[in-house]
Structure 1
Amino acid sequence: MHISARADYAVRAMLTLADAGDGAPVSVQRLAEEQDLPRKFLEAILGDLRRASLVTSRMGAMGGYVLARPAADICVGEVIRAVDGPLAEVRGERPQATSYEGAAANLRTLWVAVRASVRSVLDETTLADVVSGDLPQSVRQALELPGAWENR
């Protein structure tokens, strides 16, 4: 799976908002500085997150962004979908919409399984889980699989 810079930046910004915790708005400048993100790119990402109802913005000198819901109610998958669209696509199509002939006839099933695996990690892990480091059991088990930390 390819995780775009846009998705990475969005998740990092959301984690910073989750960690703020006190409900006070966090400025774009602070988000950019704390996570070493390009400000203009971050502003566009925050616009996507606002349109997806994941953050709200407050105007004024003390303005900034806050999570629209508690961090425990926002999964990482939602954040990625808000900025990048579906978690898994095959040539721009949803995996179940693909069709193949001959020796590749069963490939669609594999692509759907890949999407289900990605969902099982990203949709079961909330921002609060990542901030606390208390990841879901299924994620911790995946980290213990042989080769999980190795490049292939």
Structure 2
Amino acid sequence: MRLTHLADYAVVMLTAAARRAPAERLSAAALSEETGVPLPTAQKLMGILAHAGLLTSTRGAQGGYVLTRPAAAISLADIVEAVEGPIALTLCSGADGPSDCALDAHCRIKPHMGAVGNAVRGALHAVSLQELAS
């Protein structure tokens, strides 16, 4: 399993955000400059992370983004799923019915892939944003 650039950048940006004072307003421009994430990508990610409920935005001169929860209450799984969607290691592991896999009708592993995905998600959930920021 490999994270996309967007998920990787989201982790980098939120880790930088977690190093700030808890109520400090954040801007995509400031996080872009601090982390090296290109500004258009940082802006896109701030919107995605806000839509996922990890950031709250406030408009106006004193506006910006803030973390919705303490960094200790945000997990690596929360960040990855905000950008990537539900963690599923194979095409079929997130599907309730038949998938596009050519082996779907005869596969003996499919019933177990949900458990594998849950184990991976559990491992990512065990790592908090606070741990990453320290």
Question: TM-score range with shorter-chain normalisation?
Answer: 0.7 to 0.9
Contact 2:92 2:110 in 1 (8 A): no
Are the counterparts in 2 of residues 95 and 111 from structure 1 also a CA contact under 8 Å?
A: no
Secondary structure of 1:94 counterpart: coil
In structure 2, relative to structure 1, the CA distance for the partners of 1:97 and 1:72 (3 Å cut) is farther
- In structure 2, the partner of 1:144 is none
Compute the displacement of 1:75 (Å).
0.9
Q: TM-score, normalised by structure 2?
A: 0.83
* Alpha-carbon distance between aligned partners in 1 of 2:24 and 2:66, rounded to the nearest angstrom: 7
Cα root mean square deviation, aligned: 2.2
Aligned residues: 130
> Hey, what does 1:64 align to over in structure 2?
64
Q: CA deviation at 1:97?
A: 5.0
Selected match of 2:133 from 131, 134, 151: 131
Percent identity over the alignment?
A: 33
Deviation per residue, 1:15-62 (Å, 9 max, x gap): 111110241112211100111001111111111111111101223344
TM-score (norm: length of structure 1): 0.74
Equivalent AA in structure 1 for residue 3 of structure 2: I
Unaligned runs of 5+ in 2: none
Where does the alignment leave 5 or more consecutive residues of structure 1 unmatched? 133-152
Q: Which residue of 1 aligns with 2:2?
A: 2
Between the two structures, name the one with larger relative contact order (CA 8 Å, sep ≥ 6).
Answer: 2
**Runs (4+) of structure 1 moved beyond 6 Å?**
none
Secondary structure of residue in 1 paired with 2:19: helix
Farther-moved stretch of structure 1 (107-116 vs 62-71): 107-116
Change (3 A) 1:125 1:97: farther
Label 1:37 to 1:98 Cα distance change in 2 as closer, same or farther (>3 A): same
CA distance in 2, matches of 1:48, 1:92: 25
CA contact (8 A) 2:93 2:114 kept: no
2:120 to 118, 121, 130: 118
Supply the distance in 2 between the matched residues of 1:27 and 1:101 (Cα, whole angstroms).
49
